Copies of this chain bind each other. A is one copy, B any other.
């Protein structure tokens, strides 16, 4: 048996309904590269949720999605303003810079969230050829710190962007967790809030692999298909990612998964907090950040996967996922309590 844990929502397997969908679509020949009817249907499901103007491009993974989104909306002399904790800054080995050629401008935030006030000092040098030209603001929903933007917070950012002729990208690797936490349809806090391009994640919420890049204005996605191919993100047997998304949306699998993951995080945070553990960020989705003595972390790590976050302040990150069980949380907390009381 494998060790279980709270390292990442991608340590989980795949939801059974999605595995089944993969098996089921494995019949006969269909044309490749997204010209099949599974893909057409899956795109349709996205249009139902995000509007008919939505242009959908499936890719393999989150880095591929973010790179496609950014490269399509930018030229190499542009810059991308983003929180210093953004996945595109710290977890993609420089893929956005390498592939788009753009400069990333990392902004320090207390909670992983940009605000107009944090962004404004970086909005200068427009038209001045010595400076990378600010063109994209990139935010994550849920953020890498487990926090959420409200619709109004997003609108404040997209309004600012519009004023400067800039675009807003949302990294939605955990967008399902955001939707259930906000109790809002996807549309409300994306296209309706002024987002231009969205990386819609599936992998971290029970899919095997597969993300979708959604452009909400056809004019913006004109080159996307070439950029997807040139960045090696075009899947030949596309039906196998399309079928996953179909199952993901059918019977609200995505919702069930995300609701459960969020709940497990809330329980975990609540219990840890009751033991006196300091929780450092609001627990708004499926991530919990906590301060833990190194000695305790070390012992806990022998039995459960999780990541240290900020070693200087002894901060750790616990992620829950669709398949975190109530027992997982219970046993983990029991062990934590044991160690704290030792």
Contact = CB atoms under 8 A, between A and B. Distances in A.
Interface of A: 1-5, 7-8, 10-14, 16, 19, 22-23, 25-33, 60-64, 67, 75-79, 90-95, 97-99, 101-104, 106, 121, 124, 129-133, 203, 208-209, 223, 225-237, 240, 305, 311-312, 323
A70 to B, nearest CB: 12
A97 B97 contact: yes
What copy number does this chain have within its complex?
4
A223 B129 CA distance: 10
A237 B102 contact: no
B103 A97 contact: yes
A176 to B, nearest CB: 16
A127 to B, nearest CB: 9
A29 B14 contact: no
A11 B26 contact: no
23 contacts: A3-B29, A7-B32, A13-B28, A29-B305, A31-B305, A33-B130, A60-B60, A60-B232, A61-B236, A63-B229, A63-B232, A75-B223, A76-B227, A77-B93, A77-B223, A77-B226, A93-B229, A94-B230, A98-B101, A98-B230, A99-B232, A129-B229, A231-B231
